[in-house]
Amino acid sequence: MTDKDFTFTIDGASVTAQPGQTIMEAADAAGIYIPRLCDHEGLRHQGSCRVCTVKAAGRSVAACTQPAAPGLVVESETPHIQAMRKSLVEMLFHEGNHICPVCEASGNCELQAMAYRLGMVEPTKLPYLEPTRPVDASHPGIALDTNRCISCGRCIRASEDVDHKGVFGYCGRGIHRRITVNGEDLAHTDAAVSDHAISGGVCPVGCIIVKRVGFRLPIGARAFDRQIIGEAIEEKRR
């Protein structure tokens, strides 16, 4: 702890932060997991999915973008906030076409893992929107199944900031905002299998698929078959 470091609390637990850290960064370092979908290690924060919402000094903020502040009182795992997070995740399932049993990402998917963690197991009251969305398999090494895209923008930031390419972008607004590629189709972009944007873990769901490696790790032996999402961070606390 340096003399610039300060403390604040999350659900009553004291957390040390350095100036400039977000609530989530400080929480991660302290072994407190705050659910997230659009935020990804090594990428700039976007603050769009709102699954990381916490109450800071009584106001709802995104923990991935909100700076920590000395003495700040943060609530995270309250029944109200947990229910809201679960609703956000549930709506993402209903907004796209998520048929987990046939999805290559099943077991490695952060959306699905978040549903497990947040207990999305009750009968739904929401309709399935079942949009008609394209699959782009034009590229020799990569397929894009946008039925499963949650518009988190992680591929956009990875392609722009890490690969310096700009293969992906958004089009449309509001619920119609969709991911698109900078070209007629993926084959007409400079996307490469070696891009960071394409690498495992950047796309949280089963939208960006690398061809010819699918199901190499069988269902049942995958990341979130073995561990609940967030447990790796929480282990630091024990």
Partner 1 sequence: MTAPRKARVATVSLAGCFGCHMALLDIDLRLVELLKHVEFDRSPLNDLKHFTQRCDIGIIEGGCCNEENVHVLQDFRRNCDVLIALGQCAITGGLPAMRNAIMHSDDPLRECLEEAYVLSPYVENATHVIPNDPALPLLLDKVYPCSAVVKIDHQIPGCAPSGDIIYETLVQLLAGKFEGFDPHIVHFD
Answer whether 52's CB lies under 8 Å from 64's CB: yes
Q: Does 150 participate in binding ligand SF4 (rule CB under 6 A)?
A: yes
CB atoms within 10 A of CB 165: 18
Q: How far are the Cα atoms of 104, 157, 194, 201 from residue 197, in angstroms, in the given order?
A: 18, 8, 9, 9
CA distance 54 to 56: 6
- Binding piece for ligand FES, criterion CB under 6 A, among 43-51, 77-85, 92-100, 158-166: 43-51
Q: Does 139 participate in binding ligand SF4 (rule CB under 6 A)?
A: no
Q: Does 159 participate in binding ligand SF4 (rule CB under 6 A)?
A: no
Question: What is the Cα gyration radius of the chain?
Answer: 18
Q: Helix, strand, coil % (nearest 5) of the chain?
A: 25, 15, 55
Region 96-125 residues binding partner 1, contact defined as CB under 8 A: 97-103, 106-107, 112, 115-117, 119, 121-125
Answer whether 224's CB lies under 8 Å from 108's CB: yes
Q: Does 171 participate in binding partner 1 (rule CB under 8 A)?
A: no
- Find the shortest distance in angstroms from Cβ 84 to partner 1: 18
Q: Does 205 participate in binding ligand SF4 (rule CB under 6 A)?
A: yes
CA distance 234 to 59: 25
Which pair of structure tokens corresponds to residue 7?
């403390």
**Contact partner, 151, from ligand SF4, partner 1, ligand FES, none, Cβ < 5-8 Å per class:** ligand SF4
Region 7-66 residues binding ligand SF4, contact defined as CB under 6 A: none
Region 26-85 residues binding partner 1, contact defined as CB under 8 A: none
Q: Does 62 participate in binding ligand FES (rule CB under 6 A)?
A: yes
Q: Does 134 participate in binding partner 1 (rule CB under 8 A)?
A: yes
Residue type at 143 in one-letter notation: A
Placement of tokens 């999805």 in the chain: 103
Which pair of structure tokens corresponds to residue 66?
């909100």
Q: Which is nearer to partner 1, 91 or 99 (CB)?
A: 99
Name every residue whose Cβ is closer than 8 Å to that of residue 77 and which is 6 or more positions away in sequence. Answer: 11
Sheet strands side by side (includes 53-56):
13-17, 6-10, 73-75, 53-56, 59-62
Residue of 55, 133, 178, 196 interacting with partner 1 (CB under 8 A): 133
The binding site for ligand SF4 (CB under 6 A) comprises 98-101, 103, 105-106, 109, 111-112, 148-155, 168, 179, 202-208
| Interface residues toward partner 1, by CB under 8 A | 97-103, 106-107, 112, 115-117, 119, 121-125, 127-128, 130-135, 147, 219, 225, 228
Given the rule CB under 6 A, which residues bind ligand FES? 36-39, 47-52, 62, 64
